[in-house]
Amino acid sequence: MSLLKVEGMTHYFGGLRAVYNYNLEIEMGQIRGLIGPNGAGKTTIFNLITGMYRPTSGRIVFDGQDIVGLPPHRIAARGIGRTFQNMMLWRHMTVLEHVKLAHYSRIDYGLVGAFLGTPRRHRQEAEIEERSYELLRMMGVDRFAQKVITELPYGAQRRVEIARALATQPKLLLLDEPTAGMNPEEMIEMVDTIRRIHGVLGMAIFLIEHRMRVVMDLCETIQTLNFGEVIAEGTPDEIRNNPVVIEAYLGKEVVT
Ligand SMILES: Nc1ncnc2c1ncn2[C@@H]1O[C@H](COP(=O)(O)OP(=O)(O)O)[C@@H](O)[C@H]1O
Ligand SMILES: [Mg+2]
């Protein structure tokens, strides 16, 4: 059984067909990529999988359960973590608070524990703080733990966002353009980091990227989306040499 199976998913925004007859299967632990020019429908696919929008038609089965119609927090709790193309970080919280808060979506004190501050609760708090530090270390941003998020350089903010997504202990991690706005050196570091967290935590990853180089380095197979439809799917080599892909990118992106 695959971890995620999307079948015949279509989505309209009013009269605009943003995603058409989209299919995807991801196995446990796989890294898969999604590329395509701006406006192709990539982020919309993430928004559909994570319950931000409900597909006009189609099925999404995650970990054996149909998740269409579930609210985003329930889908997150079932094991789909994500980052956003435009970061959604609370401006005034510290880095550590961000990652700690994400952990809470996974635990349940029971009402009594929450009110009384039981030993069990204190123990849980301490564990959460320890785990949060560990994730920040893994992402290479633990030195910023006590800083307010907006004081961090852009690249570090993106790393915190990934740490936050990891705190929900996802079985599937969706990364929307994790190297956006980064210079080539930062891009290479980010690719290394993604490879490392995958090596340590072993979750499946579905990656949207703009830069061919990143998906080519990381992904087992890649889908190319254009005007909401998959126009090519295959290994990095197959995608690199596919004339249909090159055509879709011509004049829009640099194919490197
Ligand atoms: N909430 C929305 N309402 C209306 N149109 C939208 C909305 N979100 C995205 N779109 C449109 O859907 C298409 C796909 O957008 P998007 O999924 O963001 O593309 P990508 O991530 O591939 O750049 C674009 O034409 C975009 O303008
Ligand atoms: Mg996008």
Instruction: Give the residue, by CA position, lying nearest to ligand 1 atom 25.
Output: 39
192-232 pLDDT tens trace: 999 999 999 999 999 998 788 899 989 999 999 999 999 99
Q: How many CB atoms lie within 10 A of CB 205?
A: 24
Pocket of ligand 1 (CB under 6 A): 13, 16, 18, 36, 38-44
Do you know the residue count of the chain? 256
Protein residue with least CA distance to atom 14, ligand 1: 41
DSSP 5-42: EEEEEEEEETTEEEEEEEEEEE-TT-EEEEE-STTSSH
Per CATH, domain 4-79+170-249 is 3.40.50.300: yes
Is the pTM for the entire model greater than 0.75?
yes
For ligand 1, the distance from its centroid to the CA atom of residue 39, given in whole angstroms, is: 6
**Would you say 32 and 222 are in contact if contact means Cβ atoms under 8 Å apart?**
yes
85-95 pLDDT per residue, tens: 666 666 788 99
Q: Where are the domains of the chain?
A: 4-79+170-249, 89-152
The protein residue whose alpha carbon is closest to atom 1 in ligand 1 is 13
Contact 95, 157 (CB under 8 A): no
* 228 alpha carbon, closest ligand: 1
Distance (angstroms) between ligand 1 centre and the Cα of 42 equals: 8
Q: What is the pLDDT of residue 171?
A: 97
